[in-house]
Amino acid sequence: MAEGKKVIVITGASAGIGAAAAELLAGKGHSIALVARRREALDAVVAKYGANALGVTADVTRKGELHRVLRETIARFGRVDVWINNVGQGISRQPSELTDQDIDEVIRVNVKSALYGMQVVLPHFKERNDGHIINISSMLGRIPFAVIRSAYVGAKHFLNALTATMREEVQATHPGIQISLVSPGVVRTDFGLNALHGGPDSRELPNSQSAEEVAEVIAWVVDTRVPDAYTRKGARDRVVSYFQSTGADPDK
Protein backbone atom coordinates (compact mmCIF):
# COMPACT_ATOMS: atom_id res chain seq x y z
CA MET A 1 0.00 0.00 0.00
CA ALA A 2 1.34 3.42 -0.96
CA GLU A 3 2.76 5.71 1.71
CA GLY A 4 0.08 7.86 3.34
CA LYS A 5 -2.80 5.82 1.95
CA LYS A 6 -5.41 4.54 4.38
CA VAL A 7 -7.76 1.62 4.81
CA ILE A 8 -11.26 3.06 5.16
CA VAL A 9 -14.48 1.28 6.09
CA ILE A 10 -17.67 2.97 4.85
CA THR A 11 -21.09 1.72 5.94
CA GLY A 12 -24.20 2.49 3.91
CA ALA A 13 -21.95 2.45 0.86
CA SER A 14 -24.22 1.13 -1.90
CA ALA A 15 -25.77 4.52 -2.74
CA GLY A 16 -25.99 8.18 -1.81
CA ILE A 17 -23.35 9.74 0.42
CA GLY A 18 -21.61 6.43 1.06
CA ALA A 19 -21.17 5.60 -2.62
CA ALA A 20 -20.01 9.14 -3.38
CA ALA A 21 -17.47 8.99 -0.56
CA ALA A 22 -16.25 5.62 -1.82
CA GLU A 23 -15.65 7.00 -5.30
CA LEU A 24 -13.75 10.03 -4.04
CA LEU A 25 -11.64 8.19 -1.47
CA ALA A 26 -10.79 5.34 -3.83
CA GLY A 27 -9.79 7.95 -6.40
CA LYS A 28 -7.31 9.33 -3.89
CA GLY A 29 -5.68 5.91 -3.66
CA HIS A 30 -7.13 4.74 -0.35
CA SER A 31 -8.23 1.14 0.11
CA ILE A 32 -11.93 0.93 0.88
CA ALA A 33 -14.15 -1.68 2.53
CA LEU A 34 -17.74 -0.95 1.54
CA VAL A 35 -20.61 -2.21 3.65
CA ALA A 36 -24.31 -2.45 2.79
CA ARG A 37 -27.24 -4.84 3.05
CA ARG A 38 -28.08 -4.99 -0.66
CA ARG A 39 -25.61 -7.38 -2.29
CA GLU A 40 -26.39 -6.54 -5.90
CA ALA A 41 -26.17 -2.78 -5.41
CA LEU A 42 -23.00 -3.15 -3.34
CA ASP A 43 -21.34 -5.35 -5.96
CA ALA A 44 -22.02 -2.71 -8.60
CA VAL A 45 -20.18 -0.10 -6.55
CA VAL A 46 -17.28 -2.35 -5.57
CA ALA A 47 -16.73 -3.46 -9.17
CA LYS A 48 -15.58 0.05 -10.09
CA TYR A 49 -12.48 -0.11 -7.89
CA GLY A 50 -10.99 -3.57 -8.43
CA ALA A 51 -8.43 -4.79 -5.90
CA ASN A 52 -8.62 -1.44 -4.12
CA ALA A 53 -12.06 -2.32 -2.73
CA LEU A 54 -13.75 -4.98 -0.65
CA GLY A 55 -17.51 -5.42 -0.43
CA VAL A 56 -19.06 -6.82 2.73
CA THR A 57 -22.78 -7.49 2.90
CA ALA A 58 -23.92 -6.86 6.47
CA ASP A 59 -26.71 -5.45 8.63
CA VAL A 60 -24.87 -2.84 10.69
CA THR A 61 -27.59 -2.77 13.34
CA ARG A 62 -26.28 -6.19 14.41
CA LYS A 63 -23.01 -5.95 16.31
CA GLY A 64 -21.95 -9.47 15.39
CA GLU A 65 -22.08 -8.58 11.71
CA LEU A 66 -19.89 -5.54 12.31
CA HIS A 67 -17.32 -7.77 13.98
CA ARG A 68 -17.34 -9.78 10.75
CA VAL A 69 -16.84 -6.58 8.73
CA LEU A 70 -13.78 -5.77 10.82
CA ARG A 71 -12.35 -9.29 10.49
CA GLU A 72 -12.84 -9.40 6.73
CA THR A 73 -11.32 -5.96 6.24
CA ILE A 74 -8.23 -6.81 8.31
CA ALA A 75 -7.89 -10.13 6.49
CA ARG A 76 -7.89 -8.29 3.15
CA PHE A 77 -5.94 -5.12 3.92
CA GLY A 78 -4.11 -5.85 7.18
CA ARG A 79 -5.65 -3.07 9.26
CA VAL A 80 -8.32 -0.36 9.47
CA ASP A 81 -7.35 3.32 9.69
CA VAL A 82 -10.71 5.08 9.29
CA TRP A 83 -14.22 3.83 10.05
CA ILE A 84 -17.12 5.90 8.65
CA ASN A 85 -20.55 5.29 10.19
CA ASN A 86 -22.88 6.47 7.45
CA VAL A 87 -26.07 4.41 7.85
CA GLY A 88 -29.27 6.32 8.57
CA GLN A 89 -32.97 6.43 7.80
CA GLY A 90 -35.56 9.16 8.06
CA ILE A 91 -39.05 8.93 9.48
CA SER A 92 -42.02 11.17 8.73
CA ARG A 93 -44.31 11.58 11.73
CA GLN A 94 -45.37 14.43 14.00
CA PRO A 95 -43.99 14.14 17.55
CA SER A 96 -47.48 13.83 19.05
CA GLU A 97 -48.13 10.79 16.83
CA LEU A 98 -44.93 8.81 17.43
CA THR A 99 -45.29 5.19 18.50
CA ASP A 100 -42.97 2.92 20.44
CA GLN A 101 -42.19 1.12 17.20
CA ASP A 102 -41.25 4.40 15.50
CA ILE A 103 -38.82 5.31 18.27
CA ASP A 104 -37.29 1.83 18.47
CA GLU A 105 -36.69 1.69 14.74
CA VAL A 106 -35.19 5.15 14.36
CA ILE A 107 -32.82 4.52 17.29
CA ARG A 108 -31.88 1.09 15.96
CA VAL A 109 -30.89 2.39 12.55
CA ASN A 110 -29.50 5.84 13.30
CA VAL A 111 -27.92 5.41 16.73
CA LYS A 112 -27.16 1.76 17.40
CA SER A 113 -25.51 1.27 14.02
CA ALA A 114 -22.98 4.00 14.81
CA LEU A 115 -22.56 3.03 18.46
CA TYR A 116 -21.86 -0.58 17.49
CA GLY A 117 -19.42 0.54 14.82
CA MET A 118 -17.50 2.62 17.34
CA GLN A 119 -17.47 -0.15 19.92
CA VAL A 120 -16.34 -2.79 17.42
CA VAL A 121 -13.43 -0.89 15.89
CA LEU A 122 -12.11 0.79 19.05
CA PRO A 123 -10.10 -2.19 20.38
CA HIS A 124 -8.30 -2.39 17.01
CA PHE A 125 -7.52 1.33 17.17
CA LYS A 126 -6.44 1.18 20.80
CA GLU A 127 -3.85 -1.46 20.01
CA ARG A 128 -1.98 1.19 17.99
CA ASN A 129 -3.23 4.36 19.70
CA ASP A 130 -4.20 5.42 16.21
CA GLY A 131 -7.39 5.49 14.19
CA HIS A 132 -10.24 7.71 13.14
CA ILE A 133 -14.02 7.27 13.45
CA ILE A 134 -16.30 9.56 11.44
CA ASN A 135 -20.01 9.65 12.26
CA ILE A 136 -22.33 11.13 9.64
CA SER A 137 -25.02 13.14 11.41
CA SER A 138 -27.30 15.90 10.11
CA MET A 139 -28.10 19.57 10.55
CA LEU A 140 -31.27 18.21 12.15
CA GLY A 141 -29.00 16.97 14.92
CA ARG A 142 -28.17 20.62 15.59
CA ILE A 143 -31.43 22.44 14.87
CA PRO A 144 -34.86 20.75 15.14
CA PHE A 145 -36.30 22.68 12.21
CA ALA A 146 -38.26 19.83 10.55
CA VAL A 147 -41.16 18.88 12.81
CA ILE A 148 -42.21 16.01 10.55
CA ARG A 149 -38.76 14.47 11.18
CA SER A 150 -39.19 14.59 14.97
CA ALA A 151 -37.83 11.14 15.83
CA TYR A 152 -34.95 11.45 13.37
CA VAL A 153 -34.08 14.83 14.90
CA GLY A 154 -33.93 13.18 18.32
CA ALA A 155 -31.83 10.29 17.04
CA LYS A 156 -29.27 12.61 15.47
CA HIS A 157 -29.04 14.67 18.66
CA PHE A 158 -28.39 11.37 20.46
CA LEU A 159 -25.70 10.47 17.92
CA ASN A 160 -24.04 13.86 18.37
CA ALA A 161 -23.94 13.39 22.14
CA LEU A 162 -22.51 9.88 21.81
CA THR A 163 -19.84 11.14 19.42
CA ALA A 164 -18.72 13.89 21.80
CA THR A 165 -18.75 11.75 24.93
CA MET A 166 -17.03 8.81 23.22
CA ARG A 167 -14.33 11.19 21.99
CA GLU A 168 -13.74 12.51 25.50
CA GLU A 169 -13.65 9.01 27.00
CA VAL A 170 -11.27 7.57 24.39
CA GLN A 171 -8.89 10.51 24.14
CA ALA A 172 -8.37 10.50 27.92
CA THR A 173 -6.33 7.32 27.47
CA HIS A 174 -5.66 7.13 23.71
CA PRO A 175 -5.14 10.65 22.35
CA GLY A 176 -4.08 9.30 18.97
CA ILE A 177 -7.65 8.24 18.19
CA GLN A 178 -9.98 10.86 16.74
CA ILE A 179 -13.78 10.70 16.59
CA SER A 180 -15.33 13.21 14.20
CA LEU A 181 -18.84 14.34 13.36
CA VAL A 182 -20.03 15.52 9.93
CA SER A 183 -23.37 17.33 9.66
CA PRO A 184 -24.88 17.63 6.16
CA GLY A 185 -28.08 19.50 5.41
CA VAL A 186 -30.55 18.38 2.75
CA VAL A 187 -28.79 16.07 0.29
CA ARG A 188 -30.11 15.05 -3.12
CA THR A 189 -30.42 11.31 -2.49
CA ASP A 190 -33.20 8.76 -1.95
CA PHE A 191 -33.24 9.62 1.77
CA GLY A 192 -36.67 11.29 1.66
CA LEU A 193 -38.24 8.59 -0.50
CA ASN A 194 -36.93 5.86 1.82
CA ALA A 195 -38.23 7.46 5.02
CA LEU A 196 -40.56 5.44 7.19
CA HIS A 197 -44.18 6.48 6.57
CA GLY A 198 -43.12 8.14 3.32
CA GLY A 199 -42.01 11.70 2.86
CA PRO A 200 -40.98 14.35 0.34
CA ASP A 201 -38.27 13.63 -2.22
CA SER A 202 -35.07 15.22 -0.91
CA ARG A 203 -34.18 16.23 -4.47
CA GLU A 204 -37.17 18.56 -4.57
CA LEU A 205 -36.42 20.43 -1.35
CA PRO A 206 -34.79 23.88 -1.43
CA ASN A 207 -31.17 24.59 -0.54
CA SER A 208 -30.04 21.03 -1.17
CA GLN A 209 -26.57 19.81 -2.06
CA SER A 210 -25.23 16.80 -3.91
CA ALA A 211 -23.83 13.65 -2.31
CA GLU A 212 -20.55 14.47 -4.06
CA GLU A 213 -20.32 17.79 -2.21
CA VAL A 214 -20.79 16.00 1.10
CA ALA A 215 -18.17 13.43 0.07
CA GLU A 216 -15.67 16.25 -0.49
CA VAL A 217 -16.12 17.32 3.12
CA ILE A 218 -15.81 13.74 4.38
CA ALA A 219 -12.53 13.37 2.46
CA TRP A 220 -11.33 16.65 3.99
CA VAL A 221 -12.18 15.33 7.47
CA VAL A 222 -10.22 12.14 6.70
CA ASP A 223 -7.21 14.29 5.83
CA THR A 224 -7.46 16.87 8.60
CA ARG A 225 -9.05 14.81 11.42
CA VAL A 226 -11.06 17.83 12.57
CA PRO A 227 -13.55 16.83 15.30
CA ASP A 228 -16.60 18.60 13.90
CA ALA A 229 -17.52 19.67 10.37
CA TYR A 230 -20.48 21.07 8.47
CA THR A 231 -20.93 20.54 4.74
CA ARG A 232 -22.30 23.95 3.77
CA LYS A 233 -20.84 27.40 4.19
CA GLY A 234 -22.69 29.34 6.89
CA ALA A 235 -24.11 26.24 8.61
CA ARG A 236 -22.19 26.81 11.83
CA ASP A 237 -23.39 30.41 12.00
CA ARG A 238 -26.94 29.20 11.49
CA VAL A 239 -26.61 26.86 14.48
CA VAL A 240 -25.15 29.60 16.68
CA SER A 241 -27.91 31.99 15.64
CA TYR A 242 -30.59 29.41 16.46
CA PHE A 243 -29.37 28.94 20.03
CA GLN A 244 -28.89 32.64 20.55
CA SER A 245 -32.47 33.26 19.49
CA THR A 246 -33.99 30.55 21.68
CA GLY A 247 -31.89 30.84 24.81
CA ALA A 248 -32.96 32.96 27.76
CA ASP A 249 -30.84 34.09 30.69
CA PRO A 250 -32.95 34.34 33.89
CA ASP A 251 -30.76 37.16 35.21
CA LYS A 252 -31.47 39.43 32.24
Q: What is the residue extent of each domain of the chain?
A: 7-89+110-137+154-183+210-241
Neighbour-count burial for 125-158, b at 16+ CB within 10 Å, e otherwise: beeeeebbbbbbbbbbbbbbebebbbbbbbbbbb
Query: What pLDDT was estimated at residue 182?
Result: 98
CATH topology of domain 7-89+110-137+154-183+210-241: Rossmann fold (3.40.50)
Phi, psi (rounded to 5 degrees) for 14? -85, -10
User: If we measure between CA atoms, which residue out of 105, 64, 67, 68 comes closest to residue 87?
Assistant: 105
CA distance 12 to 1: 25
Q: Where are the alpha helices (DSSP H) in the chain?
A: 16-27, 39-46, 63-77, 100-107, 113-128, 150-173, 211-224, 235-246
Report mean pLDDT in 10-residue bins for the chain, 252 residues: 85 95 97 95 92 96 98 98 96 96 97 98 97 98 94 98 98 98 94 88 87 97 98 95 87 71
Rounded distance between C-alpha atoms, residue 189 and residue 204, angstroms? 10
Res 252: pLDDT: 66
Smallest CA-to-CA distance from 19 within 232, 215, 219, 217 is with: 215
Indicate yes or no: pTM above 0.75.
yes
Our answer to whether residue 152 is catalytic in this structure is yes
Task: Find the helix packing angle between 63-77 and 113-128, rounded to 10°.
Answer: 40
Of 49, 116, 152, 230, which residue is the catalytic one?
152
pLDDT score of 2: 61
